[in-house]
Chains A and B, each alone.
Chain A
Amino acid sequence: MREAAPAPSSSHQAGSPHTRARSIQLSPLEALERGFALFRSTFPREAWRYYLGAAPLVVCFIPMWVVNGQIRLSDGALFTEAALLTGGYLLRVWMITGYVQHVRGRAFGTPMSKASGVTLGRLLTWKVMLTVAGLSTLPSIAGPAWFYTACEFASLDAQDRIERQSFTGCLALAGQWFGGSVLLFLALLPLWIAVWLNGLIVAMVVPQLLHSIFGVNTLLSTEMGVYSLVESSAFWVSLFAGTWLAVDPVIKCTFVIVYQHLRSRREGDDLRGLLATLPRDRHKKAQLIASSTAATPAAGTLLVLAAVLAGIALSLPARAAPVAPVRSTVQAVDDSAREARIQRLRQALDQESQRAIYRWHDADHPSPPTWFDKLLAKIGRSLDRAWKRLQSFLRKLWPRGLNLSAGSATGGFWQLKDLRVWLTLIALVTVAAGGVLVYLRQRRQTATLSIPLTLASIPDLSDSAAASERSEDEWFALASRLEQEGDLRSALRAAYLALLAGLAQRKWLTIRRDRTNREYLNEFARRWSRRPQASLEARKEIPEKLRGSLRQFDRVWYGSYALTPEAVTLYRQDQREFLSHV
C-alpha cells in the first residue's frame, strides 16, 4: 500500500487539472459495467438473498391479480391478500437490504451489521416517501431518477453504524450524481426493452414449439390463445415482473459501486483515481515495461555489432579505451537500480491488486473461479466447439479453389470431392422437399376425405341442430343406429335430443336455439312444480333426475369424457324411462 500509492498519484499530478477532474467522475455506463461485473462475481454466494426476498411478492401478487379479476371476494379476503402482499414487501426490503450489504461487504470490506426493528422502520419510511415522490414526478423523467437513486442510497445508508445518516443526506448524495442517474435511467431503457422483448418472444414461441414438436395442445398454441394472451393484463404484469427480477439485481450492484464512489469522494480519498484503477493500469505498465525490456537486448546487440564492425574497420584509439567502460559501468548500475525499483513496484502493485476490494473493478482480474464461472466457461467452450464444427462443415461444402470473381482464374480448379458433396447436398434437399410435398398432399387429401364422412355420419347432430327437427322416436332410433355404428358421442347426443323432444312434446318445455340446459332445467322445474298434481304428490326427484341427465350429457359432449357402449345404452334407456314417468 505504501509503495503502491505514490505511483498513480504522481501520474495524476502530472496530468492536467481537467484530466484530474474528469478522471474522478464515474460515468453511468462505466458504473453499469462495473455493477454487472460485481453482480457476476457475487452471484454464486449472494444472489439467493435477492431472489428469495423478491420472489414471494411476485409469486403471491400475480395469482391474486388473476383471481381478483375473476371472482368477487369479500373485504376481509381482500384485506388478507393485502396483508400477505405487505408481508412479502417487508420480506423483500429486509432481504434485499441484506443482499446489498453483503455485496458491499464482499467488494469493499465494509462491516456488516444486523438489521434491527429501528433500522427497518427508518428504511421503510424513507423508501415509501421516496417512492411516492418518484411516482408523483414521473412525467418529468429527471425527478424519478433522482428519487430512485436516493431510494437506493437509503438502502445502503440504513445499516451504516459508523455514521448517522439522514433523509436529506440521501437526497444530497443522489444530487451529487444527478446527471449520472438521469443518464443511467436512459441507458437502462434499451436494456429493459431487450429483456422484455425476450420474455415476450419466449411466451409467444414456446407454446407454438411445444405444439409443433411434441403435439401438446394448449390454449396458447391456438390463434385465439395469442390474442387472449395479449389482452390479458396478468400476462403483462408477469412480463414486467420477470423483467424487473432480471435487471434489478444488476442495478442494485451498480448503485453499490456508485455509492462507494461518492462516499470516497466525500471522504477525500478518490477511490477510483488513486486505488481502483491500479489493476487496469497494471496491465498497461506491464506491457510498457515488457516492451522496454524487450527493446534493451535488441539495442545492445546492435551496439555490439556496430562496435565489432567499428573495431574491424578502424584501429582502436588507445585514449578512448579507458573512458568508455567507466561510462557503461555507471549506466549499467543505474539501469539495474531502476530495474530493481520497477520490479519492486510491480510486485507491490501485484500484491496490492490481489486484495478483495479490487476484484469488482476489473472483470479480467485473476480471482479464484466460482462454480458459476466454471459453468459459463464450460458453456462457452461447448459453443466454441459447435461453432468451429459448423464452420469446418461449411468450409468443406464450399468448393476449394472456386473463385467467383470474374476474370481472375488464377490457380482455381474444381475438385471431384467438392462436386460430390454438392451433388449429395442437392439430392438430400430434393428428397426432403419431395417428402414434405408428399406429406402435405396426403394431409390435404385426408382432410378433404374426412369432411364428407363426418357430414354423412352425423348430419343433424352438430351444435346448431335443434331437438324439434325430429320426433322423440326418430331421435331414439337414430341413437340406436349410431350406437351400433360405434359413434358413441353422437349416439348420446341423439338420446339427449330425444329427451328434449319428448319433454317438448309433453309441453314441459319450449325448445329454442338460444337456450341453455340450465334454462331448460329451470323451465321444467317451474312447470313441474305448478302442475295440478303437485299439491298431492311433489315428486321432486324428477327434476333432479333431469338435472343428472343434462349434466351427464354436458360432461360427455363439452367435457370430452370417455364413453363406453354400455354407458350409452344405459343413458338411452334412462331417458326413455324418464319420459315414461312425466
Chain B
Amino acid sequence: MLACPPCLRRLARPGARSLSIIGRFRQVLAGVTALACVLGLFFALLRWRMNTPKQHLNFGHVLEERLPG
C-alpha cells in the first residue's frame, strides 16, 4: 500500500483539519436551516395542492347527479 505512488502523494498532503466546536455548531445550524427550508417548501406545495384540487378519481359528483327520484 505504501509503495503505491497515489497513496504516497495522498499521505504527503495535509489532512483535513478537525473543526472547532463553533464550526461544528455552525454546520449543524446550517443543516437545520436547510431542513427548515425543505419543510417550508413541502408545506407550500401541499397547501397549493389543497387549494387547487383536481377531480382525479373523484366520482362523488357522478353519484350525486344520478340520485333524482
Contacts and interface: CB of A to CB of B under 8 A. Distances in A.
B33 to A, nearest CB: 7
Contact of B42 (A86, A117, A118, A558): A86
A520 B50 contact: no
Contacts of B56: 66, 69, 228, 231-235
Interface in A97-148: 117-118, 120-125, 127-129
A558 B66 contact: yes
A268 B8 CA distance: 11
B69 A511 contact: yes
B46 A64 contact: yes
Interface in B4-33: 4-6, 9-10, 13, 15-17, 19, 24, 27-33
Contacts of B37: 128
B29 to A, nearest CB: 7
Given A86-B39, A164-B17, A70 B46 contact: no
Contacts of A65: 49
B3 A513 contact: no
Interface residues of B, number: 43
B28 A121 contact: yes
A121 B4 contact: no
Interface residues on A, range: 35 or more
Given A69-B56, A162-B10, A497-B69, A118 B19 contact: yes
A90 B35 contact: yes
Contacts of A520: 69
Contacts of A517: 67, 69
A516 B39 contact: no
A68 B50 contact: yes
A558 B63 contact: yes
B6 A269 contact: yes
A90 B37 CA distance: 12
Nearest to B50: A68
Interface stretch (A76-84, A249-257, A308-316): A76-84
B57 A268 contact: no
A233 B29 CA distance: 36
Given A72-B50, A73-B50, A125 B67 contact: no
Contacts of A82: 39-40, 42-43, 46
Interface in A542-574: 554, 558
Contacts of B68: 463, 466, 512-516
A69 B58 CA distance: 10
B50 A78 contact: yes
B24 to A, nearest CB: 5
B38 to A, nearest CB: 5
Interface in A293-340: none
B34 A124 contact: yes
Contact of B53 (A64, A69, A85, A269): A69
A125 B27 contact: yes
B28 A558 contact: no
A267 B6 contact: yes
A264 B66 contact: no
Contacts of B30: 121-122, 124-125
A54 interface: no
A380 to B, nearest CB: 38
Contacts of A349: none
Contacts of A285: none
| 4 A-B pairs closest in CB distance | A121-B31, A232-B56, A164-B16, A82-B43
Interface of A: 1-2, 64-66, 68-73, 75, 78-79, 81-83, 85-86, 89-90, 117-118, 120-125, 127-129, 160-164, 219, 228, 231-235, 264, 267-269, 463, 466-467, 496-497, 500, 511-518, 520, 554, 558
Given A82-B46, A558-B66, 19 more contacts: A69-B53, A72-B50, A78-B43, A79-B43, A85-B46, A86-B38, A86-B42, A118-B19, A118-B28, A121-B27, A121-B34, A128-B34, A129-B34, A234-B56, A234-B57, A267-B9, A267-B10, A466-B68, A554-B67
25 contacts: A1-B3, A65-B49, A68-B50, A70-B58, A71-B50, A79-B43, A81-B46, A82-B46, A117-B28, A118-B28, A121-B27, A125-B33, A128-B37, A219-B57, A228-B57, A231-B56, A232-B54, A232-B57, A234-B57, A268-B6, A268-B9, A466-B69, A497-B69, A558-B63, A558-B67
